[in-house]
Structure 1
Amino acid sequence: MAGYDDRDGKIWMDGELTDWRGANVHILTHALHYASSVFEGERAYNGKIFKSREHSERLHFSAGELDFKIPYSVDEIEAAKQAVLEANGFTDAYVRAVAWRGAGEDMGVASARNPVHLAIAAWEWGAYYGDAKMKGAKLDISKWKRPSPETIPVHAKAAGLYMICTTSKHAAEAKGCSDALFMDYRGYVAEATGANIFFVKDGEVHTPKPDCFLNGLTRQTVIGMLKDRQIKVHERHIMPEEMEGFEQCWLTGTAAEVTPVGQIGDYTFEVGALTREIAEAYEKLVRS
């Protein structure tokens, strides 16, 4: 497959559809140097983006957390995403909306006078973890920790927050793992590099409290599905050693969807009935 910069198709950029290869930015774009960028990852199923408006609203929220304003309304972003799908002839696709501070009068840390840009691309993308979606993913444990809310806007989907995700995933893949699990700054179990995590014990579900990381839309959807099934969900702080007593585990995220986990470090989990049930139910929901 060609690189992401060398494909046929259209990308929506600052109000108009442009040829894929021409969707470029200047080398002095502020976001490239100082990470002043926010984004959303979304999936379209049968021509409809799941939780589309919630994603667009969160994009605006994230920009506000980084002290800039996107010059397009939620309604305009919604229309642009649909235009991208139609222009590329996609019905099932991954959709990426990204907003950033561009090149302008400022090229130091401050960038209040620089224009804010918005682009939306889409491409066909299968299972994020490949065959791990059936067999169960294997996770490394990252040496990095999710930071304190006092140090960075942890509830924004901001590009800069993913720097340690990239390095952690590279280290995990070098060990033959699919992904890495983070602890947070206090030592509690947090999340994977791009997905939230759930555990099962004695028919009840336990998931880390999202007080220093993104409360994913897929996470929220799955919690709702579990509660609809009268399954008790504990949103709480989880110590790493508790993983020894959990029976099942899965990851959630727009890209990951619902992916079972078979191993985290030295801890192992079965790909059990509840994991399968939720994965299948989520697949039906997004396509309904």
Structure 2
Amino acid sequence: MAGAYDDRDGKIWMDGQLIDWRSANVHVLTHAMHYASSVFEGERAYGGKIFLSRQHSERLRYSADCLDFEIPYTVDELEAAKAAVLEANGFSDAYVRAVAWRGAGEDMGVASKRNPVRVAIAAWEWGNYYGDAKMKGAKLDIASWKRPSPDTAPSHAKAAGLYMICTMSKHAAEAKGCSDAMMFDYRGYVAEATGANIFFVKDGEVHTPKPDCFLNGLTRQTVIGMLEEKQVKVHERHIMPEELEGFEQCWLTGTAAEVTPVGQIGDYNFEVGALTRDISESYEKKVRA
């Protein structure tokens, strides 16, 4: 499948039923379009099975709760809908996007209690998020935007509005020939990339930012568990910018990114070392087990 995302063959699940891909539309006065009242999940299916599918559905409902609306479908109903989308489109390996938002209704100001909550699930075939960086290591810029304080935004929700500065940061990075950007948090600590969590290696031990103001990704949690099973020491802590110079290896984690090595962040270089390769290969095996 290729081409513009609004002009493809296939089926999308929307508000309880499968409809033609090109018919999955919303009104221009949809509340989410104006006020970012939207949450989503990115998931991957391997061999017809979505990795951590139920956890994604649970987090979608949790994120909606954080934004003060309730998704009108249970976790079981969301699970059934995702399975139906994969089957209807004939996908085995695919990216799955579930999204819930406040639609058009009687309210068109900041408040939107009277507007319906809409839900859609789409899937498409999607290769490596960072292209050939999966093998040679991604090149990252350092973003000028910072992840916000948790008392200014629902930082633990997967909310669409939180990605505005990510989009701008990634565009700026791409203009410099980079794949992505690493972001600091509001205190100046290393946080994450625009759509992936980050890990570093030093002296055989792993260091990763403490997720106290950004999303604690499901892939991040999975990789930490894998490292602990391999008896690799993992430090979840605040990381200062000046520490980047002393790290030997680096990788990103996320549903789209999977485990992607990083070769450069700004002026700092990293090797695609043995531990990075091992955890990437082990993750590939785990999601297809």
1:78-128, Cα deviation, whole Å (9 max, x unpaired): 000000000000000000000000000000000001000100000000000
In the alignment, which residue of structure 1 is the partner of 2:18?
Answer: 17
CA distance in 1, matches of 2:215, 2:21: 30
Question: Aligned AA for 2:255?
Answer: T
Q: Which runs of 5+ in 2 are unaligned?
A: none
In the alignment, which residue of structure 2 is the partner of 1:142?
Answer: 143
In the alignment, which residue of structure 2 is the partner of 1:41?
Answer: 42
Partner-residue secondary structure (3-state), 1:108 = coil
Partner-residue secondary structure (3-state), 2:97 = strand
In the alignment, which residue of structure 2 is the partner of 1:216?
Answer: 217
Alignment of 1:76-225 (within 5 A): 76-225=77-226
Question: Aligned AA for 1:126?
Answer: G
Identity %: 85
Root-mean-square deviation (CA), in Å? 0.3
Aligned residues: 288
1:248-273, Cα deviation, whole Å (9 max, x unpaired): 00000000000000000000000000
In the alignment, which residue of structure 2 is the partner of 1:278?
Answer: 279
CA distance in 1, matches of 2:93, 2:73: 25
In the alignment, which residue of structure 2 is the partner of 1:231?
Answer: 232
Partner-residue secondary structure (3-state), 2:165 = helix
Runs of at least 4 residues of structure 1 off by over 3 A? none
CA distance in 2, matches of 1:149, 1:287: 35
Partner-residue secondary structure (3-state), 2:131 = coil
CA distance in 2, matches of 1:256, 1:97: 17
Partner-residue secondary structure (3-state), 2:110 = coil
CA distance in 1, matches of 2:182, 2:99: 25
CA distance in 2, matches of 1:221, 1:282: 9
Partner-residue secondary structure (3-state), 2:225 = helix
1:223-278, Cα deviation, whole Å (9 max, x unpaired): 00000011000000000110000000000000000000000000000000000000
CA distance in 1, matches of 2:103, 2:160: 14
How much does 1:2 deviate?
Answer: 1.3
CA distance in 2, matches of 1:245, 1:189: 14
1:126-178, Cα deviation, whole Å (9 max, x unpaired): 00000000000000000000000010000000000000000000000000000
CA distance in 2, matches of 1:167, 1:21: 28
1:53-95, Cα deviation, whole Å (9 max, x unpaired): 0000000000000000000000000000000000000000000
CA distance in 2, matches of 1:281, 1:2: 33
Partner-residue secondary structure (3-state), 1:182 = strand
Partner-residue secondary structure (3-state), 2:72 = coil
CA distance in 1, matches of 2:205, 2:227: 9
The answer to whether structure 1 residue 255 and structure 2 residue 256 are counterparts is: yes
How much does 1:13 deviate?
Answer: 0.1
Using the size of structure 2 for normalisation, the TM-score is 0.99
Question: Aligned AA for 2:74?
Answer: S
In the alignment, which residue of structure 2 is the partner of 1:32?
Answer: 33
CA distance in 1, matches of 2:28, 2:242: 46
CA distance in 2, matches of 1:71, 1:269: 46
CA distance in 2, matches of 1:102, 1:16: 17
CA distance in 2, matches of 1:278, 1:152: 32
CA distance in 2, matches of 1:191, 1:231: 21
CA distance in 1, matches of 2:284, 2:123: 20
Partner-residue secondary structure (3-state), 1:198 = strand
